[in-house]
Amino acid sequence: MAAGAISHPTPTTALSEASAAVTMAATSASGSVGGGGIDNPDQRLCDDVGSFVRSSVSLSLTVCRKIFSCVAFAGVLWGVSGSLVLFMFIYAAVGTFVTTAMFGRVLTSLFYRQLAREADLRFSLVRVRENAESIAFYGGALRMFG
């Protein structure tokens, strides 16, 4: 609907119709919701693989740097006292175990919940794109956004 066709627009109605108009314009102009977003699963998979590789390389480099720092620090600490080196390794092992035990399961479940919600969002965006004309024609944006 055009903004001029509404006699007394409320802020919610105007926002809903503006959102529907933007969605329709983006869909008709680029063929995807959001104007140039990723709309095919193959491209999404390629982007995920690229992100995975970047994260893996970054993690590997960080682990190597930390190992070298730990060895250098252990050498300096060995010069002060040999028992401090042993204490440092025990302290690091216990701290890692406690942190992993306390936060590992919670973070893993939150990560999988985030993945599920992102998948639901992508599914909904595809449905909006497929039915954009019907949504705009029947004023469904008022129900979706209002």
Return all residues near 73 (Cβ < 8 A) that are at least 6 apart: 88
What local confidence, expressed as pLDDT, does residue 109 receive?
92
Q: For 89-143, how does the pLDDT look when each residue is reduced to its tens digit (9 = 90+)?
A: 899 999 999 999 999 889 999 999 998 898 888 888 888 888 888 877 887 767 6
Higher pLDDT, 140 or 17: 140
Question: How many domains does the chain fold into?
Answer: 1
Q: Where are the alpha helices (DSSP H) in 31-131?
A: 41-80, 82-130
What is the rounded distance in angstroms from the CA atom of residue 82 to the CA atom of residue 89? Answer: 12
* Entry pTM: 0.45
The predicted-structure confidence for 22-58, as pLDDT tens digits, reads as follows 555 444 444 444 445 555 666 777 777 888 899 999 9
Q: Which domain holds residue 49?
A: 3-145
